[in-house]
Structures are given as structure tokens and as C-alpha cells.
Amino acid sequence: MKIGTPKETFAGERRVAMTPDSATALQKLGHTCVVETGAGSEAGFADADYAAAGVEVVKTAAALWKAADVVAKVRAPDATEMKRLREGQTLISFFSPVADEAKMQSAAKKGATVVAMEMIPRISRAQKMDALSSMANIAGYRAVIEAGNNFGRFFTGQITAAGKVPPAKVLVVGAGVAGLAAIGTSTSLGAITYAFDVRPEVAEQVESMGAEFVYLDFEEEQQDGSSSGGYASVSSPEFREAQLAKFRELAPEVDIVITTALIPNREAPELWTEDMVASMKPGSVIVDLAAEKGGNCKLTVADEKIVTENGVTIIGYTDFPSRMATQSSSLYATNIRHLMTDLTPEKDGVIDHNMEDDVIRGATIAHAQEVTFPPPPPKVAAIAAAPKKEAAKELTPEEKRAAETAAFKAQTKNQVTLLAIGGALILLAGLYTPASFMQHFIVFVLSVFIGFQVIWGVAHSLHTPLMAVTNAISSIVILGALIQIGSTSGVITFLSIFGVFMASINIFGGFLVTRRMLAMFQKS
């Protein structure tokens, strides 16, 4: 089939749904590719690049829509493009089925198939097609860059001859894909980074990236993330009040706030109120990644940057991925290419739109002259809930002592049994082997036993660096090679020099690897 990508008609949109690299991969699936002239120019992909990749370049959008069996776009089609959509044609793009219900009904009536990229289920198998995550990752990164561009100081602290510069304090609200990208970028720039999320289970991810997770003194049973497709769930009014109280406490201290809280097909929750903005220091920056859906900040204006009376800059841009068009286009085109791989299982250029497949069914909003939105829940949960553990029974002091005694007896019995078996084997070996062998063999057995006991007592996370330093220490065999270098035999001398060389690599490499790996466990 022929896959076509037109130039985006949405004002300011610079991304493109097909790149020369993705076109090459699509052709390996048996498809042919066509692109409208200039479609990728603002993303850094010239028509000549597409032609070199074997892509047909057509002059007009009308010609492309007429020729293509599958049309891949970034933004939802406008009214003109909807008129060009025909029966049997497949459209792949962001679509917003709730907001564009009339367009969805129109596409179904025409007999076209529409695949909405934001409806890709958040299950493990579909991660490679998850365009929302791809774009959110870029938006989180770009949000920090935009904040830095509007912030009047360094992110990292500095001590110079001219004086001391304190590090910036950054608060990231929401630790989803965009939030984690923002956290990673902020910490790498040297800022003191705080993060909050209604899902306490993400605290470990936040802290592993060098940020501090903001906890609330509030107990509420959180919904399983799978109930909302892997997104944060709506919280109770009591939880929301506790959350806002914590933000009011942090507002005067932080320099930069990046809000990312958004659930698909819903208005963005208001998390940063007007009084919080008023309490922030002059020169502070707020970047609202939910501006397209109303914003998490009360004062956010979509697609604009404003400065409040107290000198706080609020950025409400809705085109963060488009501001990094080359990178965004590459990732989005890869998402579509993976989707086409699933739609073309035989790699013969023929699309098999299998509505029994969780991923394809979940993303399809119109097919066979029917509206197929909303999709049924996927057979595989988005995020598996951890099984609830039964509370351990409280033991009485007598029961605890009895359990400890039984465990000690069992351990002692096992050790005595192993020693008896080992002693019998050594005695048996002594009856049939020379005395010189037994001396070395006993030393070997003791070394194995001591080594086992030492390694068994080391935390699992340190096993790899432990083995690296053990590797270095074991290269004491270099002493034997050094002794043999003075041999009268040329062959032995050569082998000794080679042995010294190899053992030296082992020694220096082992200690170097150990040092680098142990540095990973140190907190900065």
C-alpha cells in the first residue's frame, strides 16, 4: 500500500509524520511512500532527502490524499482534509475523539478507518508506539530549557571570587513521562529539584534521579494506575486540600515550577492557584505543560508568556515538541513505523487491521463505517497492581523465642551435615592421593569456603564491583610470570611477557571498573 504524509496545516506546527529513515523502514514492510513537497522542511528534512530514500514527492496536498491508501499526520485533520478523506482510506494521527466527535462520526460514515495515536493503550507491548510518551518526554526536557531561558540565574550553585550564587530550586508537579524528563534535565543542570505526584509509588523513581520527593501528611488509599490507563487518578477533595496546602508552603521557596498534571480527555486540574503565584519571589518562573487543556496554573494563558505584577513569568506554550521539530518528528515517525509493523504482520505491504489485537483495537476510533470509540479495556492491565500482602501475625515473646530456637537448630543441623559430608570426602580423597596433593587440596577447599562466606555476606547490589576487584586481586599470578621472564627458553620468556601484559590489564581494569561502579552507589 501507499503511505502518504502531507504538510501540516495547523498554524505553527513544524513536525512531520514521516522522515527519510522511517520511510526506508516502511518500504521494507512492502509499502511505498509519498510525501507532499515541503512537508519536512521545517523539521530539517528536505525534499531531496526523501527522494534519496526512495520516497515519491508530490506537489500538492490534494494529489497526496488522492494517491495514498494510508495518510500519516501529526495534528488532527482540518475541514478541508476531512473532505479529502475517502472510503477505504486509513488515517493515522492525533485526533482527540472527545473534542472532535463530529469529525469522528464523519470519518465513520465515509467508511474510512481512523487510528488516534493518543489512544494507544499504555501496556508494555505498545510502548514502542506510544506517541504521547514520546512527545511528553520532549516537552518535559524543553520545559526546563524554556524555564532556564527565562530565569535570571544559574541552575547550579557557584562560589566565585565575585561572590556565592545559590542553586535554583525547581519543583516538578507530576512525575509521569514529562515530569521525569523535567526532573532529569533539572538535576543534570545542577538545580535542587523537588517533585510531587499523587502516586507515592513513583517516589523511588524520583529519588533515583537525584530529586527529593514531596510527601504529604495524609493517608488515602490510591487507585491502581491501571484503572486510568497508567495515568494518575482523580483524588478526593480532602487529598486535594492537603496537596494545595503543601504547595502553598513550598511556593515562597522555589524558583521554578513545572506543572505536568494532565489526564487525557479531561480538563487540567488547577494545582497552582493565584495566591501561590503571588507568594513566589520576583524572577520566578512557572512552565505549565497542561496549558492546552486549561492549565494547572490559574493564571496560565495558552500559547502566551505573561509576567505577573510581582514579577513571576508564566509560560503557557502548547507547542513544546514542535519547538524541537527534528527530534520530535524522528520519534513520532518511529512510533508510526512500529504501528505499521503491527498492521503489516506479513511484511507484504498489505494492511491487516486486526480488531482482536488490544493495541490496534484500542487506538482505532472509526472502522468499517462504525464509530469504535471508546474502546473496551485492554485484556492486559496497563500497570499490574502489586498483590496485597496479608498482615503478619503478631507473635508473643514465647512464640518468637520458640521460632528463633527452631531456626537455630535447623541451621546448626545443616552446617553439621555439610561438614560431615565434606570431611568424609576429604578423608576418602586422602586414602587414594599423594600427601602433596592433599596439602594443596585442603588449602583450596578452605579458600572456597572462606570465599563463599565472604561473598554471601555482601549485598546483591555490590556483587558486580566485588567480582571486579576480586578479578584484579586474582591477578597475583603476575608474580609467577615475572619469575619466569628470566628463563633461558625463548618460548617461556615470550609467554611470561605475554602473561605479565594480560595480568596487568586484569589488575588495572579490575580496580578501575570497581571504582567507577562504586561511584554509582554514592549519593552526590
> Would you report the helix, strand and coil content of the chain in percent, each value rounded to 5?
50, 10, 40
Gap between the Cα atoms of 74 and 93, Å rounded? 5
Residue 337 CA: distances (Å) to CA of 139, 325, 352, 467: 21, 18, 15, 42
Q: Which of 122, 199, 337, 361 is catalytic?
A: 122
Residue 138 CA: distances (Å) to CA of 68, 283, 406: 30, 25, 57
290 SS3 class: coil
Q: Which of 194, 231, 317, 332 is catalytic?
A: 231
Antiparallel, parallel or unpaired: β 113-116 and 364-367: antiparallel
* Residue bearing cell 470519518: 107
Q: Are 288 and 313 in contact (CB under 8 A)?
A: no
Q: Which of 14, 106, 130, 199 is catalytic?
A: 130
Gap between the Cα atoms of 313 and 310, Å rounded? 9
Q: Which of 106, 133, 284, 330 is catalytic?
A: 133
First to last CA, the chain: 54
Per-residue three-class SS string for 385-405:
CCCCCCCCCCCCHHHHHHHHH
Residue 115 backbone class (left: φ over 0; alpha: ψ -120 to 50; beta: rest): beta
C-alpha cell at 269: 486540574
130 in catalytic set: yes
Q: Are 170 and 191 in contact (CB under 8 A)?
A: yes
Q: Are 207 and 184 in contact (CB under 8 A)?
A: no
231 in catalytic set: yes
34 SS3 class: strand
127 in catalytic set: yes
Gap between the Cα atoms of 226 and 377, Å rounded? 10
Give the residue numbers marked as catalytic: 122, 127, 130, 133, 231
